[in-house]
Structure 1
């Protein structure tokens, strides 16, 4: 019984299998092994259950024991194999398939006392070996089982990691791009994920008091009876985490995506996208607008680049920003309607002044007059402007401007180097203007749907320039 069995596939395999632990016999192999049901006799069935040694075994119609666990004399080979009456499984791996010794019959010669004691000891050992319920598997089998468990644990960990990665890929949010600074620059125009995270930690305490935009259906009705007090407008529930709402707003500014596109990416409704954009435009307009960006002359001189050596008193470089908007055209001025704003940049490149937006037909001189920059200037400062800003008689300070030529005129020899230097230094403010216009929302035609919040969006885009490039 200790030799290895070699089984071959049966021509007509069955679904039978052996319920004994560590037995791999099934009905897929040849007919040299038969399968037998548990007996109906309760006493004999309990003996089978005790010998099989399988905890919490529920005996059913398909619970069988193969003939390998019975003594060969207990299996009757007359047609269909059956068991001898009262037979019980005795051969298992834990007793090395050795049956317990049978007790001597009364007709046999009584052995000597020494042999009798030896046989009794052998019988006891065999019986204990067959009924040793505290037996433990061999060390080799235990090591193999431990190795298999460790291998399965590694597979589970890999699958869990893959599931997390797949979930992140399906979810469009800031966390998905946290490992790629290139994607962060593309979607938000921030230099890196760490810079964006630092900006978020700075504004996060103020988000708890953020006033959220509500839909018209949420506002109280004006036709309600006067004796009934109108219910306050209900605050809409957030469908995205706050940091993902900020990510959506920055994507809207940077890429100029349609609300339907953003709704599809974040798996929310277009109306929710509209509310998020308006809410964050108003909130950042208030939050960033409360930060004093105008720099004192002392700080300007401390950060003055060496290229401004000939213009050491320059306080601000001024230029205008113009954008097209989707509105009825004016046949008196241009082929399309535009909006114009003015920004001021310090000599080292930070945005220090932002005006509101005006109609595109306004002149640069009038734009400078209505921008509100006059109270910030004094006689010890200097302003560097482009040719269109004829403001010499308006401001109390010095004005640096490239010299302009009238018809049939020529620059004097002493004005040429000053004009060249001034035109070259105006590139500082033009770079800031270009960075603002790189927000695709302002680079294309501004839709009429955001006409009510375009001023807030423009100011926020200008102020974010200081955090995106020089946090």
Structure 2
């Protein structure tokens, strides 16, 4: 019944013996007699099915599962007896090493010698030393052995020492976090000039005021990756947020360094000693958070607010102006798809761009920011889709350049368009020339506002297509945060000092 081929494998569960790795073992085929075969199948705890089929010459049981009594050597060769059944398996504790008793493990844990339990006869023969007799009950229930004297007091004292060490380390960690936070803020905000470069805020006083305003809600900020996993409708607790590698104010400074100073994400990861994925997660999270916070501010000024803050030059030439608008474009990466290329290609800039509309009040504050559209859109279509027409009221005036032929659209709202006059004759009349100069001097305010927004250095290079999901938020944040700089002046004096 034994096989010598090197392809023999044992079919007993949890046994991986085979003839190639254990050539010293013998492998026995299942008996041909049906009754004996069923005994073997029952013994190895397997049932014949599609996953286990007994085949002659390929289904074996190795000799490790038989006892010495199952073999005979009457013919001079060791052979399996007829009717022998395998009986040594993992589930009947064959092949397992004896486990130490609870008594021995407890004694070893306390560093005591585990003495063997001696009978009374052995004790008398052991050099005459007297060893107390141990009853059978004590050897059976050795897990109730009492600890040595003073062990509980020593353990309690050790626990108190470890608790004190934990409290000391927690205090040190908190101090290090505070020092790290202060050092990062002082590193980037040592002077007003540094603050203007890294954050575009005009001074530390303005920065601190802005931070104190957003800090309460920012403390409950949840990372964008966590919000995506939970879903838009799920309620997320602040405690469930991703573990923060940086203090909250450092996250805001990191965002400002990326947007205002234009530092690359790899550089920020090295400066703040965090991973590149953490930098990306912080930027996306803060872009969406500030978009929500700043977007909820009522920046559109009422008619009374516009009149009360209107400079004298506007009162002299066009007192009915409510908003000054203009379109601007930012470069974006050239997509590989030809359809997308045609949509984002701007014939004015001769490159692929995103296009948006900005509106400011006569006082210079940004009061309207549209979403970004593809660069191929016209100024008229962008004005219509931006939603600014819904904000204008009867009697309002909108100032723009000559490219905005939106007179009919404004007339439907009861508003009018103020643009430089078109040249209808060989040369301008004196009145048209004065009007053109006056409108140009006033309309330059929106150009300065756009210049302020583009001084955020994130727009120095083409926007990669990977940022298309957050480019609207970043653009809107830059436009609205420019209102925290020095107010624009018609003469341009204060705007020059802010830049």
Q: Same fold (TM over 0.5)?
A: yes
Q: Map of 1:197-346 to 2, 5 A cutoff? A: 197-214=208-225, 219=229, 235-308=241-314, 309-328=316-335, 330=341, 334=347, 335-346=350-361
Q: Structure 2: state its 5+ residue gaps.
A: 1-174, 232-238, 489-499
The alignment status of 1:196 with 2:207, answered yes or no, reads yes
2:423 maps to 405
1:428 maps to 445
Cα 1:312–1:170 change in 2 (3 A) is closer
2:466 maps to 449
Q: Map of 1:35-184 to 2, 5 A cutoff? A: 173-184=184-195
Give the Cα–Cα distance (whole angstroms) in 1 for the partners of residues 226 and 276 of structure 2: 12
The alignment status of 1:417 with 2:434, answered yes or no, reads yes
Name the SS of the counterpart of 2:317 in structure 1. coil
Give the Cα–Cα distance (whole angstroms) in 1 for the partners of residues 475 and 357 of structure 2: 11
- TM superposition score normalised by structure 1: 0.58
1:236 Cα deviation (Å)? 1.4
Q: How many residues align?
A: 294
Give the Cα–Cα distance (whole angstroms) in 2 for the partners of residues 444 and 403 of structure 1: 36
Supply the RMSD in Å over aligned alpha carbons. 2.8
- TM superposition score normalised by structure 2: 0.55
The alignment status of 1:371 with 2:371, answered yes or no, reads no
Name the SS of the counterpart of 2:407 in structure 1. coil
Q: Does the aligned pair in 1 maintain the 2:226–2:241 contact within 8 Å? A: no
Cα 1:357–1:203 change in 2 (3 A) is same
Give the Cα–Cα distance (whole angstroms) in 1 for the partners of residues 321 and 477 of structure 2: 25
Give the Cα–Cα distance (whole angstroms) in 2 for the partners of residues 288 and 316 of structure 1: 20
1:149 maps to none
Runs of 4+ in 1 over 4 A off after TM superposition: 167-172, 331-335
Q: Map of 1:343-358 to 2, 5 A cutoff? A: 343-358=358-373
Which structure's CA Rg is the greater one? Answer: 1
1:445 Cα deviation (Å)? 0.9
Give the Cα–Cα distance (whole angstroms) in 2 for the partners of residues 220 and 198 of structure 1: 33
Q: Does the aligned pair in 1 maintain the 2:222–2:242 contact within 8 Å? A: no
Q: Does the aligned pair in 2 maintain the 1:254–1:438 contact within 8 Å? A: yes
1:171 Cα deviation (Å)? 8.2
Give the Cα–Cα distance (whole angstroms) in 1 for the partners of residues 211 and 418 of structure 2: 39
Q: Structure 1: state its 5+ residue gaps.
A: 1-163, 222-232
Give the Cα–Cα distance (whole angstroms) in 1 for the partners of residues 471 and 181 of structure 2: 32
Q: Does the aligned pair in 2 maintain the 1:381–1:398 contact within 8 Å? A: yes
2:404 pairs with 370, 381, 389, which one? 389
2:482 maps to 465
The structure richer in helix per residue is 2
Cα 1:435–1:169 change in 2 (3 A) is same
Q: Does the aligned pair in 2 maintain the 1:171–1:266 contact within 8 Å? A: no
Cα 1:327–1:418 change in 2 (3 A) is same
Cα 1:373–1:276 change in 2 (3 A) is same
Q: Does the aligned pair in 2 maintain the 1:219–1:234 contact within 8 Å? A: no
Name the SS of the counterpart of 2:225 in structure 1. coil
Cα 1:280–1:402 change in 2 (3 A) is same
Give the Cα–Cα distance (whole angstroms) in 2 for the partners of residues 469 and 253 of structure 1: 19
Q: Does the aligned pair in 2 maintain the 1:214–1:235 contact within 8 Å? A: no
